[in-house]
Amino acid sequence: MQYEQIKYEIANGILTITMNRPDKLNAFTGQMLSELLDALDRADADDNVRAIIFTGAGRGFCAGADLSAGGNTFNSEHRAGADLGLDGHRDGGGRLTLRLFECLKPVISACNGPAVGVGVTMQLAMDIRLASTEARYGFVFTRRGIVMEACSSWFLPRLVGVQQAQEWVLTGRVFGAEEAHKGRLVRSIHKPDELLPAAQTLAREIADNTSAVSVALNRQMMWKMLGADHPMEAHKVDSKGIYAMGKSADVKEGVTSFLEKRKPVYPMKVSKDMPSYFPWWEERKFK
């Protein structure tokens, strides 16, 4: 796929995906969604990609849905193509966060400016969120007469707690990086020119020191266990992982390199060496 609304740039194992409609504050469109989904599929299939950074071009991260259709922006019956009705319609932001949820590579958000609506909810499915001092966030759904999207009613309370989530969503107000940090939405705040370097340093730490297969497994273990009803479910998956990886080439290299006091060179690849028990969950269907 040729990308027109995003940039896809790999350097030394780190992929930077930049939403690229700077004149529109990178407002989200159907085309951008298609390009982002393709980019994530491409990244998962590429063993040279060890970590992913999301950011925005210009002064915005993503200003939410493109509102150029006016009052019919969210009206699926007004869009070209067949209307699938109440039970068939799928929220585009949800398709993106579900794809992020299934991603095999760690995802870091470098929020450089305004992030409203889907611009902030997409970040909830990313693993680590960094903010510029220029970042602004807004769960503005109640101020547009719409409801939460992008699976944010699942992600947001788990990240920041129900009380904080309710305050931000029910008021719909836009707030700055300091409040986002205090509310545990973001890990850290950086000067604008230091934001991407900070994200790259974090991505570099992952890429240079860890097993790609181990990272993929551990990422999925933590996300998937957020919905488990008992720690026994974690014990089941932990046990399979310890058994399968305990005899793997990556574990041998990890232990040997530690004992030899040298940098590890992990041989296993996500594209072909995931253990036989993966995935351990049943794929959820939209129905």
Residue 271 counted as domain residue: yes
Peptide bond into 275 cis (omega under 30): no
Query: Does residue 143 sit in the same domain as residue 198?
Result: yes
Query: Does residue 183 sit in the same domain as residue 56?
Result: yes
Reading the block at residue 88, the tokens are 């068939």
Query: Does residue 148 sit in the same domain as residue 117?
Result: yes
Q: What's the domain count of the chain?
A: 2
Q: How confident is the model at residue 244, as a pLDDT? A: 97
Query: Does residue 193 sit in the same domain as residue 251?
Result: no
Q: Burial letters for 226-244: b for 16+ Cβ neighbours within 10 Å, e otherwise?
A: eeeeeeeeeeebeebbeeb
pLDDT band at 90 (very low <50, low <70, confident <90, very high): confident
pLDDT tens digits for range 157-206: 999 999 999 999 999 999 999 999 999 999 999 999 999 999 999 999 99
Reading the block at residue 18, the tokens are 């930049």
pLDDT band at 86 (very low <50, low <70, confident <90, very high): low
Residue 24 counted as domain residue: yes
Query: Does residue 127 sit in the same domain as residue 170?
Result: yes
Q: Using only C-alpha atoms, what is the Rg of the chain?
A: 20
Residue type, position 188, single letter? S
- Which strands, in side-by-side order, build the sheet including 128-132? 6-11, 14-19, 51-56, 107-111, 128-132, 188-190
Cβ atoms of 93 and 101 within 8 Å: the answer is: no
Query: Cα(232)–Cα(234) distance, rounded to whole angstroms?
Result: 5
- Say how many Å lie between the first and final Cα of the chain, rounded: 28
Single out the residue of 134, 236, 15, 274 nearest to residue 3, CA to CA.
Answer: 15
Parent domain of 105:
6-206
pTM as predicted? 0.94
Residue 217 counted as domain residue: yes
Q: How confident is the model at residue 142, as a pLDDT? A: 96
Query: Does residue 196 sit in the same domain as residue 215?
Result: no
pLDDT band at 81 (very low <50, low <70, confident <90, very high): low
Q: How confident is the model at residue 46, as a pLDDT? A: 98
State the chain's mean pLDDT as an integer: 94
- pLDDT higher than 70, residue 42: yes
In the chain, at which residue ranges do the beta strands (DSSP E only) sit? 6-11, 14-19, 51-56, 107-111, 114-116, 128-132, 136-138, 174-176, 188-190
End-of-domain residue from the set 186, 206, 226: 206
Beta-bridge partners for 8: 17
CATH number for the domain including 241?
Answer: 1.10.12.10
Tokens 């707690």 belong to residue: 161
pLDDT tens digits for range 122-151: 999 999 999 999 999 999 999 999 999 999
Query: Does residue 178 sit in the same domain as residue 215?
Result: no
End-of-domain residue from the set 154, 171, 206: 206
Range in 60-74, 75-89, 214-228, 240-254 the model is least confident about: 75-89
Reading the block at residue 156, the tokens are 């947001």
Residues composing the chain: 287
End-of-domain residue from the set 179, 206, 233: 206
Averaged pLDDT, 272-278: 97
Query: Does residue 58 sit in the same domain as residue 192?
Result: yes
Query: Cα(96)–Cα(109) distance, rounded to whole angstroms?
Result: 14
Residue 1 counted as domain residue: no
Query: Cα(255)–Cα(259) distance, rounded to whole angstroms?
Result: 6
Query: Does residue 125 sit in the same domain as residue 260?
Result: no
